[in-house]
């Protein structure tokens, strides 16, 4: 049997500080009921540790994974960090993570695909394992969205939170692990969810800092319409392509942007709520962090051979789904 890439360990980190809907009510004109009904979010975590950034959350998630699995930093070959909130524009956060972890032998890079970043990174890492050139690949989805959010904009500040999740990919000879991936992108949606200034199109100026060009901008309704069909369709597509019905699936692992988008995806796949990983109520949208943070929370419930469908939709637009067979039990 040919080599597949399998997740062999999971780690996660969320900051201690809890930003509740009630606290947001004191910051912008909103209310707990509206936020819960329209998004499913009750609270989110915010990184307040002095001097910490995205790399520090990524490192904590990686350390958690390494402690649980007995993985040594010196054995890691490659680190891919999916993020839209890197520590710096350059160098890559992956370089900083390798240094802080004590893994100088590992090379790595950042991958920017917004909310689909973890799926893009997972599929990228899979290729290095299947090629036989790398044995231990660390895939991290980490975002400090609080560094990107305008806390006077009620359209976006209620949605996002900070957090990081990590998985280890290793070769598998029993046919377990990543089975298939369908990844898509459409740059036509680029300016519906983006950061207007600070890139080469609009280099930073005093004016565009002052008028909020460095904050997240989202046309919520337009993104919602695309996301609700995009994520549902691509989940259904990968199930159909692989001859899977709802009965074959142990869990749907959806990106956590809006509970209504998650529900629509589950409905299209014919999956009951108990087969859907949902933690948006606690963490909000942590962008590249949502899917690995779900795996982190559900890890103890997963059984060897379980079929999982991972699905995401996000800025870019980027979207996709991954079908995998879980490879271990804790």
Measured distance CA(160)–CA(157) in Å, rounded: 6
Q: Is 258 in the site for ligand UT7 (CB under 6 A)?
A: yes
Determine contact, residues 5/177, Cβ cutoff 8 Å: yes
Residue of minimal CB distance from ligand UT7?
Answer: 220
Q: Is 30 in the site for ligand UT7 (CB under 6 A)?
A: yes
Q: Which of 158, 239, 269, 302 binds ligand UT7 (CB under 6 A)?
A: 158
**Active-site residue identified among 115, 172, 258, 294:** 115
Measured distance CA(250)–CA(46) in Å, rounded: 31
- Could you tell me the smallest distance in angstroms from the CB atom of residue 245 to ligand UT7? 27
- Clarify whether 115 is annotated catalytic: yes
Binding-residue total with ligand UT7 (CB under 6 A): 20
**Residue span binding ligand UT7 (CB under 6 A) among the ranges 7-15, 96-104, 151-159, 270-278:** 151-159
Q: Is 168 in the site for ligand UT7 (CB under 6 A)?
A: no
- Clarify whether 214 is annotated catalytic: no
Supply the DSSP symbol for 233: H
Determine contact, residues 220/201, Cβ cutoff 8 Å: no
Q: Which of 82, 97, 182, 223 binds ligand UT7 (CB under 6 A)?
A: 223
Q: Is 69 in the site for ligand UT7 (CB under 6 A)?
A: no
Q: Is 115 in the site for ligand UT7 (CB under 6 A)?
A: yes
Of the two residues 204 and 222, which places its CB atom closer to ligand UT7 in the complex? 222
- Clarify whether 208 is annotated catalytic: no
Determine contact, residues 13/57, Cβ cutoff 8 Å: yes
Of the two residues 29 and 300, which places its CB atom closer to ligand UT7 in the complex? 29
Q: Is 257 in the site for ligand UT7 (CB under 6 A)?
A: yes
- Could you tell me the smallest distance in angstroms from the CB atom of residue 217 to ligand UT7? 12
| Rounded-to-10 torsion of CA 258, 259, 260, 261 | 60
Measured distance CA(172)–CA(269) in Å, rounded: 28
**Residue span binding ligand UT7 (CB under 6 A) among the ranges 30-38, 102-110, 300-308, 318-326:** 30-38
Q: Is 8 in the site for ligand UT7 (CB under 6 A)?
A: no
Give the Å distances, CA to CA, from 271 to 9, 37, 293: 26, 21, 20
**Residue span binding ligand UT7 (CB under 6 A) among the ranges 3-11, 133-141, 171-179, 313-321:** 313-321
- Could you tell me the smallest distance in angstroms from the CB atom of residue 154 to ligand UT7? 4
Q: Is 194 in the site for ligand UT7 (CB under 6 A)?
A: no
Give the Å distances, CA to CA, from 237 to 245, 254, 320: 11, 15, 10
- 182-192 core/surface letters (b: 16 or more CB in 10 A; e: else): bbbeeeebeeb
> Where are the extended beta strands (E) located within the chain?
4-13, 17-20, 43-46, 78-82, 107-111, 137-144, 162-172, 177-185, 193-195, 216-218, 251-254, 307-314, 318-325
Q: CA-based Rg of the chain, rounded to a whole angstrom? A: 19
Where in the sequence numbering do the catalytic residues fall?
115, 255, 285
Q: Which residues bind ligand UT7 (CB under 6 A)?
A: 30, 34, 38-39, 115, 154-155, 158, 220-221, 223-224, 227, 257-258, 261, 285, 313-315
């Amino acid at each position: 049997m040919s080599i597949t890439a399998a997740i062999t360990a999971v780690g996660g980190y969320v900051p201690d500080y809890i930003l509740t809907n009630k606290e947001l009510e004191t910051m912008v004109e909103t209310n707990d009921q509206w936020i819960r009904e329209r998004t499913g979010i009750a609270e989110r975590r915010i990184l307040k540790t002095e001097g910490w950034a995205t790399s520090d959350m990524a490192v904590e998630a990686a350390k958690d994974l390494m402690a649980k699995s007995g993985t040594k930093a010196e054995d890691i070959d490659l680190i891919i960090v999916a993020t839209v909130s890197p520590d710096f524009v350059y160098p890559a956060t992956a370089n900083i993570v390798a240094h802080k972890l004590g893994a100088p032998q590992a090379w790595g890079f950042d991958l920017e695909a917004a909310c689909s970043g973890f799926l893009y990174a997972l599929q990228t890492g899979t290729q290095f394992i299947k090629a036989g050139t790398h044995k231990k690949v660390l895939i991290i989805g980490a975002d400090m969205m609080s560094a990107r959010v305008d806390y006077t904009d009620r359209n976006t500040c209620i949605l996002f939170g900070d957090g990081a999740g990590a998985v280890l990919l290793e070769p598998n000879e029993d046919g377990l692990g990543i089975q298939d991936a369908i990844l898509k992108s459409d740059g036509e949606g680029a300016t519906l969810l983006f950061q207007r200034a600070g890139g080469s199109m609009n280099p930073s100026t005093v004016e565009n800092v002052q008028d909020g060009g460095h904050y997240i901008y989202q046309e919520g309704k337009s993104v919602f319409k695309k996301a609700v069909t995009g994520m549902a369709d691509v989940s259904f597509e990968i199930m159909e392509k692989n001859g899977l019905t709802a009965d074959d699936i142990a869990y749907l692992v959806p990106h956590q942007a809006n509970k209504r988008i998650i529900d629509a995806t589950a409905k299209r796949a014919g999956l009951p709520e108990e087969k859907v990983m949902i933690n948006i109520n606690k963490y909000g949208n942590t962008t590249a962090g949502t899917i690995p943070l779900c795996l982190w929370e559900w890890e103890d419930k997963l059984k060897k051979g379980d079929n999982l469908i991972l699905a995401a939709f996000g800025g870019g637009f980027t979207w996709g789904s991954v079908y995998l067979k879980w490879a271990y039990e804790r």
